[in-house]
Amino acid sequence: MKFIDEVTISVSAGKGGNGCVSFRREKYVPRGGPDGGDGGEGGSVIFEATERKHSLLDFRYRHLFRAEAGKGGSGQNRKGRSGSDLIVEVPVGTVLKDPVTGEIFADLTEAAQRSIAAKGGRGGKGNAHFASSTHRTPRFSQDGEPGEERELRLELKLIADVGLVGLPNAGKSTLISTVSAARPKIADYPFTTLTPNLGVVQYDDAPPFVMADVPGLIEGAHLGAGLGVRFLKHIERTKILVHVIDASKAPADNPLAPLEQIEHELQSYSEDMKRKPRIIVLNKTDLLEDPEVLDKIKKAYLELGPPVLLVSALKREGLRELVRLLTANLFEMNRQT
């Protein structure tokens, strides 16, 4: 299934029904008064988050969403039927924005959460409302109000507890495939992962958590280079960032270079990234034959402060300790909130 995470659509609420002009016409009532009923309310366009959808693919070819208009009133004070609301289902994590100003109308982060994107118009009043002691035969009614119309930018930001970040070919896809049931495409060329992948991870009997594998970042990603900001947004909601470093390709003169490059992109994209806890994973350790080189790389990363783990995702070495550490950290974070 193709992964679509950004679309622009138009929504149009229903117009309210017109009020009715009518007078009583009964055999034994020679002076029947006005009895025009009110128009019905127009339907609203409502967005609802659901866990049944995982991308915005449904919006790729349909860009206009219109709710039903209200019906006009009729004689004998009968109100017109209100238009039906249009319920539009979107994945959990969808943000509704103004495409021009970027103003956020709604952020749907929980299943069944709803937001009215366009409110239906009010029904017009029938002429029965305008009768008075001085004006007993009003021959006018009120038109229904138009419903709201607007353009919306829908952006999907995946909701995951842990986000894997790193340069292309650092081994993120292999890692998530070995600790969860996710099956991303894996190959030995850059940008194998073209869409974010989600996997559910569990350590023993502890509550499971969701891990996201974000496509590889390159220099200038926060400005749109490579896969750019399109996928940086998917780690905004994560609680912990895991830096996946290809230890076999770490420069001898500056082993911290891969992490520094990714950190620059993360923090240039959003100041909030600085506050997220980090765990550093030195991957592909099985490709380093000299233990002294690996020890030097590890010491350089340990000086930064965050926990540093040596793993080989391909050979499934060190992964249990990684999952245990993530589970413990998430438990503590959830306990404090």
End-to-end Cα, the chain, rounded Å: 36
pLDDT 10s digits, 101-111 = 999 999 999 99
pLDDT band for 268, please (50, 70, 90 cuts): confident
3-class secondary structure per residue, 54-86: CCCHHHCCCCEEECCCCCCCECCCECCCCCCCE
pLDDT band for 150, please (50, 70, 90 cuts): very high
Structural domains of the chain, ranges and CATH numbers in brackets: 1-156 (2.70.210.12), 162-336 (3.40.50.300)
Asked whether 70 and 21 are in contact (CB, 8 A), the reply is no
Asked whether 90 and 107 are in contact (CB, 8 A), the reply is no
Q: Is the pLDDT of residue 136 over 80?
A: yes
In this prediction, residues 145-168 reach a mean pLDDT of: 92
Question: SS3 for 31?
Answer: coil
Q: Is the pLDDT of residue 36 over 70?
A: yes
